[in-house]
């Protein structure tokens, strides 16, 4: 499931990139095309790195804090 979701995110990002830079490239406005490409490229990068980044922090233990169950939509963290 996660693999297909990442593929969809990358596809949508590439499509957004193409749509964002097509008009400036045709008009010869290379600087504008470069600045318009920043957002989609960040999305593509986050699609590749974000899952692993989140997994690392999910496993990290914060010293002095213990996990408590989420109650009524609020996360409760407390010192030990």
Look at residue 11 in the predicted model and tell me its pLDDT.
86
What are the sequence ranges of the domains in the chain?
A: 2-79
Look at residue 39 in the predicted model and tell me its pLDDT.
85
**Whole-structure pTM over 0.85, yes or no?**
no
Look at residue 25 in the predicted model and tell me its pLDDT.
94
Q: Along the 80 residues of the chain, how does pLDDT read in single tens digits? A: 567 877 887 788 889 999 999 999 999 999 999 999 998 888 788 777 877 777 777 665 556 666 655 555 555 555 54
C-alpha distances out from residue 20 to 26, 28, 33, 37, 79, Å: 11, 14, 7, 7, 47
Contacts of 14 (CB under 8 A, 6+ apart): 40, 44
């Amino acid at each position: 499931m996660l693999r297909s979701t990442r593929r969809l995110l990358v596809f949508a990002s590439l499509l957004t990139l193409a749509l964002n830079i097509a008009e400036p490239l045709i008009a010869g406005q290379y600087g504008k095309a470069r600045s318009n490409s920043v957002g989609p490229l960040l999305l593509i990068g986050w699609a590749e790195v974000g899952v692993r980044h989140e997994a690392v922090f999910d496993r990290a233990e914060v010293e002095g804090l213990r996990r408590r169950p989420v109650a009524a939509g609020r996360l409760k963290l407390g010192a030990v």
